[in-house]
Amino acid sequence: MAGLTAVAVAAVAFLAYQASASAPAPSELAADSRTPSVAPTATTTGKPKPPPQKDPITLPEGSGTGERVVYALDDRRVWLVDAKNKITKTFTVMPSTVSPLPGNYAVTSRAGTVRGSDGVQIEHVVRFAITQEAVIGFSAAVDGSMPSPDPSKKTGGVRMKRADADAMWAFASIGAKVVVVP
């Protein structure tokens, strides 16, 4: 019996090595060309995947026009865009385990400081979607941390650095447009 176990472990290790050796580098990944949905809800994901390396200066296709917050799920990036379609700020974020589907949203509520659904004290909370699993919004941890979320918890906090949350707070008031793209 021990011999069969050893053979099985060796086979799994060999297959894992082959898979890791043939995986493409982030720079080889192709850009996603899907267009956003117009009927947003939410989806639950496991641990967030690392973002592809794209040009942060270029707005994603299908992100709309006019003043808005653009949130690209695959890029794990946010753009604050003024009424003249000019990017005023862009930054990376750490998504949570529950993400909104691509589509158009509006900021529904804000809070200066609260405790997040993961138990962390957060500030400059800008909420824009509610699902059966979680309230989804942008925020920063008061301690400045941006850890990967616990995949066993259903949380909707899209975390960012404190300076980025300050910019979001100043930019996105109640009713502000939020466009989520793949």
For 122-178, the pLDDT digits (tens) are 999 999 999 889 999 999 999 999 999 999 999 999 999 999 999 999 999 999 999
Cα separation of 182 and 174, whole Å?
A: 24
The region, left, alpha or beta by phi > 0 then psi within -120 to 50, assigned to residue 50 is: beta
For 5-53, the pLDDT digits (tens) are 333 333 333 333 333 333 333 333 333 333 333 445 455 555 555 555 5
For 38-92, the pLDDT digits (tens) are 445 455 555 555 555 566 778 999 999 999 999 999 999 999 999 999 999 999 9
In a domain, 17, yes or no: no
Mean confidence (pLDDT) of the chain = 79
The region, left, alpha or beta by phi > 0 then psi within -120 to 50, assigned to residue 16 is: alpha
Cα separation of 60 and 89, whole Å?
A: 14
In a domain, 54, yes or no: yes
In a domain, 167, yes or no: yes
Helices and strands in the chain, H and E counts = 2, 11
In a domain, 10, yes or no: no
The CATH number of the domain holding residue 130 is 2.40.440.10
Return the number of other C-beta atoms located less than 10 Å from residue 91's C-beta.
17
In a domain, 115, yes or no: yes
Return the number of other C-beta atoms located less than 10 Å from residue 160's C-beta.
22
Q: How many domains, the chain?
A: 1
In a domain, 13, yes or no: no
In a domain, 37, yes or no: no
Cα separation of 24 and 17, whole Å?
A: 14
Boundaries of domain holding 56: 42-181
